Amino acid sequence: MSGPGIPWYLAVAALLFSIGVAGVLLRRSPLIVLLSLEIMLNAANLAFVGFSRLFGEMDGQVFALAVMAVAAAEVCVGLGLIVAMARRNLALDVDTLTELRG
Amino acid sequence: MGNFLVWAIWLVAAGACLATGLRVVTASNPFSSALSLIGNLASLAVLFLLASGEFVAAAQVLVYAGAVMVMFLFVIAYLGGRADAPWAGGTRLIQTASVISAVSLLAVVFVALMLNAGGRLSDEAEVTRAFGSPGEMGRLFLTDHLLAFEITSIVLLVAAVGGVVLGMRSAAEELADAKPSLQQTVASPEEAAR
């Protein structure tokens, strides 16, 4: 293949995953935590697609699509939780949300 | 020449990907975070295309950058000022620890990659033009990965039901909202009787 080899893709995926981890650990707003989670899922997807190209098997791409569906489900539930929290006038701050009781 | 062009596009896409990723994490305005994530997903789609994942790239733009991010933007707009997120949380110690753990995770991933697969990552398999095409993906989904396909649909259904349940107003909330008017209508005849 002309152009960059698979190690370059994996390097970008690793960097992107670490950026997502930093976002999840550092930020307090649940919205930004969800966005950082999306970055981590997409970094995994990039690694899947890269390895799929390396081995010439399309199973990795199939799994990347499955990850996309799971991410959509996660966003659906996560945003539902955030809206429910906002309606109960809870602070949108993961550091103060320490109880699970409704 | 073609080689140079592929490299140039790859470098631009990878740079945009990392820059927008950093912007998502560091922006204090959630709107600019969400918009940067759309840029991140679009540049990732370019990287998928260069790794011959045509269908995955199309699905990425349609499902992720389209549908999912529109939902995000709607929620941020609905929350309005409450969504504003001053950027970091915790004490300085916790922040430093978070950054250190993220960087060490990066180092671990790099070391694992280099040790485990150092020499074997360079010889890529030869692929035909059908690799990553929608037809091939559909064939795989309906033959080898049929179970995963069906489980995915169940997961999505459960998530949709969960979203509706979370969005429903509970009976207690309805009562709390209805109470003032109810009390007035009930209380006034009693007061009249007194």
Structure tokens at A7: 């190690």
Are A93 and A28 spatial neighbours (Cβ–Cβ below 8 Å)? yes
- Asked whether the predicted pLDDT for residue B192 surpasses 60, the reply is no
Contacts of B172 (CB under 8 A, 6+ apart): none
CB contact under 8 A, A77 and B121: no
Compute the nearest-CA separation of A29 from chain B (Å): 6
Q: What is the pLDDT of residue A65?
A: 92
Owner of token pair 């631009």: B12
Contacts of B121 in chain A (CB under 8 A): 5-7, 10, 54
Q: What is the CA radius of gyration of chain B?
A: 26
Q: Residue A61 and residue B55: Cβ atoms within 8 Å?
A: yes
Decide if pLDDT at B45 tops 90.
yes
Domain A6-87 classification at class level: mainly alpha
Cβ atoms B69, B38 nearer than 8 A: yes
Least confident span in A14-18, A97-101, B14-18: A97-101
Determine the residue among A34, A49, A77, A92 to mutate to test chain B binding: the one whose Cβ has the most chain B Cβ atoms within 10 Å.
A49
| Interface with B, mutate which of A18, A28, A95 (most B CBs under 10 A) | A18
**Do the chains contact at A14 and B110, CB–CB below 8 Å?**
yes
ipTM, two decimals, is 0.89
Which chain A residue lies closest to B165 (C-alpha atoms)? A80
Tell me which chain A residues have a C-beta less than 8 angstroms from the C-beta of B17: 12, 16
| B140-157 pLDDT per residue, tens | 989 989 999 999 999 999
The structure tokens listed for A8 are: 């370059």
Query: Is A46 within 8 Å of B90 when comparing Cβ atoms?
Result: no
Q: What is the pLDDT of residues B70-87, one digit of tens each?
A: 999 999 998 877 767 666
Q: Between the ranges A24-28, B18-22, B62-66, B168-172, where is the mean pLDDT highest?
A: B18-22
Which structure tokens are listed for B117? 């697969």
* pLDDT tens track for A16-52: 999 999 888 888 888 899 999 999 999 999 999 998 9
Instruction: Find out whether B16 and B43 touch, Cβ atoms under 8 Å.
Output: yes
The average pLDDT across B147-169 equals 89
Mean of all residue pLDDT scores within chain A: 86
Residues of B in contact with A58 (CB under 8 A): 131-132, 136-137, 140
State residue B17's pLDDT score: 94
Domain positions in chain A: 6-87
Q: CA A58, A60, A62, A64: dihedral to nearest 10 degrees?
A: -140
Task: Tell which CATH classification among 1.20.120.1200, 1.20.120.1770, 3.40.640.10, 2.60.120.260 matches the domain B1-87.
Answer: 1.20.120.1200
Contact yes or no for B46/A45 (Cβ under 8 A): no
DSSP H helices in A27-58: 30-55
Domain extents in chain B = 1-87, 145-194
